[in-house]
Amino acid sequence: MRRSNRTNTLVIVSNHVASIYDDRWVDDVLHYTGMGQLDHQSLEFNQNRTLNESRTNGVAVHLFEVFTAKTYTYIGEVVLADEPYQEKQPDVEGRDRFVWVFPLRLKSGAPPAIPDATLQQLNQLKEKQARKLSDAEVEVLARRQGRANVGKRSAKVTQHQRSQWVAEHAKRRSKGRCDLCQEASPFNRKDGTPYLETHHIEWLVHGGADTVENTVALCPNCHRKMHVLDDQGDKKLLVARLGAH
């Protein structure tokens, strides 16, 4: 966050590429993590205070987002949609701490649609980042960032913001075998990891959660089967198998 006293403005950046923070859109409200990368955050710290008091201090808040490295997309002027709240997120050294999260909405209109190709490219980058972590690191992030209220943002179609940590955890938990048919993955990726696709037992569009308890790893054939048939027997089987882990 950067404040300009000359223009009486505050610029905030939600960096989806390099930031340690877990910012996400839910129903046109951005849940934006405050300043402070080490230890617990404070509402009295630097621009956290400015943002917290922005409804009364006359400061205009402008939001940028980063989807590709070093490219800043202007989203618009934002205002507080609700009171800031606290949640646990890791600091820059990986230790759990409390951060302040600011619910923000655009002052007017809806968030601009981001090209689907841009969001797909961002997801691919996060997939690569996830594959570099240990099983233990992936599980910690998956359990921390899995959410019942899945983030959504506008593309040419509404795109749900799935956690790549939850997806990677499901693939590693499967040990290279489809959670439905139990067969080994049909092939390996170029990096040698088994190719499996993640699937939400209760679909996100039906209100399902993006959590480790609702996410499985399937071979392409079973994944397509689940989307075509959505068989209740298969869903019950997957729930039972996840419960056995």
The answer, yes or no, to whether residue 159 has pLDDT greater than 70, is no
Domain 2-106 carries which CATH code? 2.30.280.10
pLDDT tens per residue across span 207-236: 899 999 999 999 999 999 999 999 999 999
The answer, yes or no, to whether residue 146 has pLDDT greater than 70, is no
Q: Of the ranges 43-57, 153-167, 207-221, 228-242, which one carries the lowest mean pLDDT score?
A: 153-167
pLDDT tens per residue across span 7-27: 999 999 999 888 766 788 888
Q: In this structure, what token pair is assigned to residue 77?
A: 């002027």
Res 170: pLDDT: 95
Q: How confident is the model at residue 180 (pLDDT cuts 50, 70, 90)?
A: very high
Res 160: pLDDT: 63
Res 132: pLDDT: 84
Question: What is the mean pLDDT of the segment spanning 139-162?
Answer: 64
Q: In this structure, what token pair is assigned to residue 120?
A: 């797909």
CA distance 201 to 206: 10
Res 137: pLDDT: 80
pLDDT tens per residue across span 183-195: 999 999 988 999 9
Q: In this structure, what token pair is assigned to residue 231?
A: 């068989």
pTM of model > 0.75: no
Q: Which amino acid is it at 181?
A: C
Res 50: pLDDT: 96
Q: DSSP characters for 181-228?
A: T-PBPS-B-TTS-B--EEEESS-GGGT--BSTTSEEEE-HHHHHHHHH
* Angle formed by the axes of helices 164-173 and 135-145, nearest 10°: 130
Res 224: pLDDT: 95
The answer, yes or no, to whether residue 82 has pLDDT greater than 70, is yes
Helices (H) and strands (E) in the chain, counts: 6, 12
Q: DSSP characters for 47-75?
A: HHHHHHTTTTS--EEEEEEEEETTEEEEE
Question: What is the mean pLDDT of the segment spanning 53-75?
Answer: 93
Q: Which residue has the higher pLDDT, 162 or 222?
A: 222
User: Which DSSP letter does residue 150 get?
Assistant: -
CA distance 14 to 63: 8
Question: What ranges do the domains of the chain cover?
Answer: 2-106, 116-243
Res 229: pLDDT: 92
Q: How confident is the model at residue 102 (pLDDT cuts 50, 70, 90)?
A: very high
Question: What is the mean pLDDT of the segment spanning 61-65?
Answer: 95
9 three-class SS: strand
CA distance 59 to 53: 9
Res 57: pLDDT: 95
Res 118: pLDDT: 87
Q: Which residue has the higher pLDDT, 45 or 216?
A: 216
